Amino acid sequence: MKDILIVEDELSIRESLQTWLTELGYRVEVAREGEEALRRIEGKEFDLLILDLRLPGKDGLQVLKEARAKKPKLRGIIITAYPSVERAVEAMKEGA
């Protein structure tokens, strides 16, 4: 079974993703902001991060960059309601 960390500040999106992925058989944890996510990543091996681009404090790309610096095999998916080509390219460069 895969372990997923969802990093999303919007409660409804966070809960929806958590419910959906749990029903599909994944073990899911959640964090509301970047610093909380980085603390969780320090203490546990996750298979996947699902990160909102816009988070309070550190944004999703910064969290992914810092997490992958510590755990290079960690994979990430960036989600956002504010897409742009520039941010998509930046996310891909960070391994998303």
Which regions in the chain score pLDDT beneath 50? Answer: none
Contacts of 86-95 with C-beta under 8 Å, sequence gap 24+, read 87/53, 87/61, 90/61, 91/53, 91/61, 91/64, 94/61, 94/64, 94/65, 94/68, 95/64, 95/68
**The predicted structure's pLDDT at residue 67:** 94
Q: Determine the pLDDT at residue 79.
A: 87
What pLDDT was estimated at residue 86?
74
Contacts of 23 by beta carbon, 8 Å cutoff, 6+ apart: none
pLDDT at res. 24: 96
In the prediction, which pLDDT does 89 show? 64
Radius of gyration for the alpha carbons in the chain, expressed in angstroms and rounded: 12
Residue 38 identity (one-letter amino acid): L
The SS3 call for residue 44 is: coil
pTM: 0.87
